[in-house]
Structure 1
Amino acid sequence: MIPRFVQPSGKTLIKFLSVAWLVLSEAAPVSAQITAFKQAVAEAASENEGVSAFYRDSGYKAIWTGKDAESMERRSALFNALSLADLHGLPQDRYKVEALKAQMADVRSVRDLGQVEAALSQIFVKYARDLQSGFIKPSTIDKDIVRKITRPESNVLLSEFANAKPSAYLRELAPASSQYRALLKEKISLEQLLAAGGWGPSVPVRKMKSGDAGRDVIALRNRLIEMGYLNRTATSQYDSSMQKAVEAFQRSHGLEVDGVAGTGTIKEINKSVADRLKSVIVALERERWLPRERGKRHILVNQTDFSAQIVDEGYVTFQTRSVIGKNMEGRRTPEFSDEMEHMVINPSWYVPRSIITKEYLPKLRANPNAVSHIEITDSRGRRVNRGAVNFSNYSAKTFPFSMRQPPSKRNALGLVKFIFPNKHNIYLHDTPQKHLFAREVRAYSHGCIRLSQPFEFAYALLAHQEENPKDYFHSVLNTGTETKVPLKQKLPVHIIYRTAVVTNTGKAEFRKDIYGRDAKIWDAMRRAGVALSAVQG
């Protein structure tokens, strides 16, 4: 009778399968064992075509359950990696480690051993994919998160792993970006803070400013000290040091920097360590969704920060304020990546069908001369005489005309737009509504991204192909003619949504969840088994 293996623990776990092979080798002829092992692997791996393909191509050679040192090293590396899954904000229970250990302990036949071989491969593939590109499918969270997630094929992962140093390979699965590493460090720091009790008592929600004094100011002082924005002091006055501390907090949380602790600022100051930790864990998952190769030079638009940046070799070389889509159905700016191909100087605005039918048609029914700055054109592009049309005869479905605003300073797109062709019809552009950039929350557009400094943005893009980009830009602008200017080198564009980021100086910054997307992601992560943990320092 083949003996039942006892539940392994510790180092015994990585060695016992070698013992299993020695015991089982006495139970039946080698050829029969091999056949039974292959059949078991084939059956158990059939759930995953990629895993099945790997074993078919390798002749069902064992990579986990062999008695050689390489197999033992792979098992050890995998279980060590799985034990640290929660470090990356992955749900520990997702990988069923205890069930896998129990299955390994229950090996009583070659067939059982083959099933363990396939099970280890399937768990490895799940973990590897999760760590490389996230464990949540973005489109299931919000229809406006339209990222194309590239998930590696199971057979490719297994083949690479089988020919690599196991521990090194598993470590390198996570995104290699400096942002991911910084977020991991911030996660550990916040977990230690959580274990230590956080930032202390919350602050009464009322407006406080320079010259104020009293218990509420002391509460604010203590909170700012615990958060690292203010050096230790015994003052009960809202003095210049406290004002500077409030300004620093406002700056790192995307708030209006005025040094006044208004109710909005106090509410952000009162956000708990747990709340900030959730943002960081969500940011780790979001970082896994992004392309591994961002582009040495790329454009980064963070919706929650209302900013657009040009990044060169990991450093921000240009940044400007932005306006994004209004927080309402059909207007929220989607998240995706693409490539910028050209800019249009002196653009016409071709009004989207949705705006024509939802906003302009009702106005035209009431007054044919409404929105007179917009041309109405027929299917051949000819201008339509408004006085000859009874707009009341048309519905949103039957309206046969297009609408266009010619180039001008009053154009809705301003004087330049930047195009990265995409099915969402999203692009970056100038705007005549400059006053909106002074606001703290800048979500007002129909979905496209408006830039505060579009000319300077254009100069920065053209600098890589024109000797004097500013002069070139204005020479085209001054013609008043709509002109397409191709970029000689296409530029990756990443439109992201990040409520937690870490700057190049290592300082964590946080933003408001303006569309509520991060709350949805956290809820999905929580339901999948991700939990906040307090780590002792």
Structure 2
Amino acid sequence: MRNFNIKKAFWLTTLIILSASLLILQSCKKKSRSDLGATLYKKTKNKVFRDATPEGLADVFKKVMEEEKSHVANPKLIGAFYEENGYDPVFVMDHIFNGDVDLTANYFEKVNQHGLDPKMFNADEIKALVDKFQDKKAIKNLDEAYRDIALLEIKTANSLINYSNALQYGMISPRKIYQRYYTETKRPDSAGMSKIFYIKDMKHYLDSIQPKDPQYIALQKALASGSVAPGMSKEETIRYLVVNLERLRWKNKPTQDKYVIVNIPDYRLDVMDHGQSVLNMKVCVGEGRNKDRENSLVEYDESDKIDRPFSRETPQLNSMIHSVQVNPVWNIPQSIASKEIMVEAAKDPYYLSNKNIDVYKNGKKVEDPETIDWGSASAGDYDFKQRPGDDNALGKIKFLFNNKSSVYLHDTPAKQPFTWNMRAVSHGCVRLEKPQELARVLFGDGATYQKIADDMGKDNPDPTTLAVPKKVPVYLTYVTCWADSNGVIQFRPDVYGLDIVLYGHLQRFLAPSQQLANL
């Protein structure tokens, strides 16, 4: 009984403390809001504000929010904040009179340094409203005062959210514009956007969200200098720079110390370890729709916004390399089987045996494929597998990672394309110039790597699958413009036309060309 009374007393005490705390918080909130008029009068010297009350502001604020919501990117988030906080004008009370809002508008005006249009962030409108508060005769009556407070709050919140999102996440979601984009990419959320209402030091916040990647800064400098890339017009050079600045704003970059990265337009693979490339090599990637450069960023058509990938293009993705298969069997995809293998078999009855290709029907191996009339066979009637060997299309080793596109990194017996400038020649997988060196980097020197090297050198070998000692991230990316180690801006042909698609969606956010020329 005594324990029961102790517990009862404990909970009663806790309840009293919580209730008292709630009353204190509510009274503090009322106090901070009840002096709205007096505070604004003291700061503006405008007598109109003497009669301002939180209740009067709330009534007008609701009406203005309803009127403005079609011009606001996140009306529900902004409206919910003010509703939950009694329409407390946080920017007017905490940031106007110390110069913070003017400072913010100044940052908005300089957003063309990022290739973006300052008009998106309404700097002029925000500054004009701030000026009214600082002119003791500009606001004539209480209703105008309430409306101007509400407008300044809504416009500042909206522009600050949009500006923060643009610099930290980019203007465009790549998942929404590309059909073959499977890279994890973080996008803005309501929790992150709501942080703008609680900023204490505005300059510190605005400085903290500026992109600081050296690559980004290098492209910004190139944009400001107005330099022209070899073989391009000034307009096309600018467009190259702004689409790649947008890519750099996407939150899809590797965060691991060690990873494998393939840049599709550069036809290159790097193994990165703590920021340094410890191995690089040429690669061949999937055949693209724009490999002959028929389309470019010189012109723009509204239909260019629609992504129409060629069937053999290598997708953008990230995954983890989990194992390798030495002397792999090639399970030939139906698309290749019907368009190439069966066509060749119809021309030459010995094509399949010469290429070490086995034929299967309903899961059972066909013993005499030469007897099949390939000219009348239908796609899907048969499955095809190429045995390990020197002619195997996958070469001596392939590197496996989970993905929905059934692509991987692999060796190849076709070495000649590595001497070509345009290496978008595969069916979608990534062919490696130096696959054995990649195996060495992933496995390290030791017994396992030695077994891989020995098996790759054998004639008529059996396939062997080996798990890598530690899974390694792999990123298949698409970047057409960057600064090399000497600071020289490199440009690569838009082999898949993905720059054109991105520019189509991005152009309405971009700074006018005359502004770019005067950065």
The reply to whether TM is greater than 0.5 is: yes
- Could you tell me how far apart the structure 1 residues matched to 2:164 and 2:334 are? 44
Deviation of residue 54 (structure 1)?
Answer: 4.1
Amino acid at match of 2:450: D
How many percent identity over aligned positions? 25
Q: 2:411 aligns with which of 427, 430, 435?
A: 430
Partner of 2:89: 62
Unaligned runs of 5+ in 2: 1-39, 133-138, 290-309
- Could you tell me how far apart the structure 2 residues matched to 1:281 and 1:149 are? 19
Partner of 2:110: 84
Q: 2:378 aligns with which of 381, 389, 395?
A: 395
Partner of 1:440: 421
- Could you tell me how far apart the structure 1 residues matched to 2:323 and 2:41 are? 60
Find out whether 1:94 has 2:131 as its counterpart. Answer: no
- Could you tell me how far apart the structure 2 residues matched to 1:118 and 1:381 are? 69
- Could you tell me how far apart the structure 2 residues matched to 1:364 and 1:389 are? 9
Partner of 1:209: none
Partner of 1:33: 57
Alpha carbons of structure 1 residues 111 and 341: separation in structure 2 relative to 1, 3 Å: farther
Q: Could you tell me whether the CA contact under 8 Å between 2:359 and 2:385 is conserved in 1?
A: yes
- Could you tell me how far apart the structure 2 residues matched to 1:326 and 1:83 are? 42
Deviates more, 1:353-362 or 1:95-104: 95-104
Aligned partner of residue 165 in structure 2, secondary structure: helix
- Could you tell me how far apart the structure 1 residues matched to 2:189 and 2:433 are? 43
Aligned partner of residue 78 in structure 2, secondary structure: helix
- Could you tell me how far apart the structure 2 residues matched to 1:322 and 1:161 are? 48
Partner of 1:509: 490
Q: Could you tell me whether the CA contact under 8 Å between 2:187 and 2:251 is conserved in 1?
A: no
Deviation of residue 330 (structure 1)?
Answer: 1.0
Q: Deviations over 1:210-239 (max 9, x none)?
A: xxxxxxxxxxxxxxxxxxxxxxxxxxxxxx
Unaligned runs of 5+ in 1: 1-15, 199-267
Q: 1:453 aligns with which of 434, 446, 461?
A: 434
Find out whether 1:484 has 2:465 as its counterpart. Answer: yes
Q: Could you tell me whether the CA contact under 8 Å between 1:82 and 1:92 is conserved in 2?
A: yes
Q: Could you tell me whether the CA contact under 8 Å between 1:303 and 1:498 is conserved in 2?
A: yes
RMSD: 3.5
Deviation of residue 387 (structure 1)?
Answer: 4.8
Find out whether 1:156 has 2:135 as its counterpart. Answer: no
- Could you tell me how far apart the structure 1 residues matched to 2:197 and 2:364 are? 59
Partner of 2:77: 50
Aligned partner of residue 474 in structure 2, secondary structure: strand
Q: Deviations over 1:63-87 (max 9, x none)?
A: 3222x35885542342122111110
Partner of 1:117: 153
Alpha carbons of structure 1 residues 344 and 517: separation in structure 2 relative to 1, 3 Å: same
Deviation of residue 410 (structure 1)?
Answer: 1.4
Alpha carbons of structure 1 residues 371 and 495: separation in structure 2 relative to 1, 3 Å: same
Count of aligned pairs: 443
Aligned partner of residue 90 in structure 2, secondary structure: coil
Alpha carbons of structure 1 residues 302 and 112: separation in structure 2 relative to 1, 3 Å: same
Alpha carbons of structure 1 residues 93 and 115: separation in structure 2 relative to 1, 3 Å: closer
Deviation of residue 429 (structure 1)?
Answer: 0.8
Find out whether 1:283 has 2:283 as its counterpart. Answer: no
Q: Deviations over 1:317-370 (max 9, x none)?
A: 110011111224211222233332222222111111211222233344555554
- Could you tell me how far apart the structure 2 residues matched to 1:25 and 1:413 are? 77
Alpha carbons of structure 1 residues 163 and 21: separation in structure 2 relative to 1, 3 Å: farther
- Could you tell me how far apart the structure 2 residues matched to 1:394 and 1:17 are? 88
Partner of 1:375: 358
Find out whether 1:317 has 2:278 as its counterpart. Answer: yes
Alpha carbons of structure 1 residues 50 and 127: separation in structure 2 relative to 1, 3 Å: same
Q: Could you tell me whether the CA contact under 8 Å between 2:330 and 2:392 is conserved in 1?
A: yes
Deviation of residue 297 (structure 1)?
Answer: 1.3
Alpha carbons of structure 1 residues 33 and 281: separation in structure 2 relative to 1, 3 Å: closer
Deviation of residue 55 (structure 1)?
Answer: 4.1
Q: 1:351 aligns with which of 332, 336, 343?
A: 332
- Could you tell me how far apart the structure 1 residues matched to 2:398 and 2:324 are? 6
Deviation of residue 296 (structure 1)?
Answer: 1.7
- Could you tell me how far apart the structure 2 residues matched to 1:456 and 1:467 are? 13
- Could you tell me how far apart the structure 1 residues matched to 2:157 and 2:257 are? 35
- Could you tell me how far apart the structure 2 residues matched to 1:168 and 1:174 are? 10
Alpha carbons of structure 1 residues 524 and 18: separation in structure 2 relative to 1, 3 Å: farther
Larger gyration radius, structure 1 or structure 2:
2
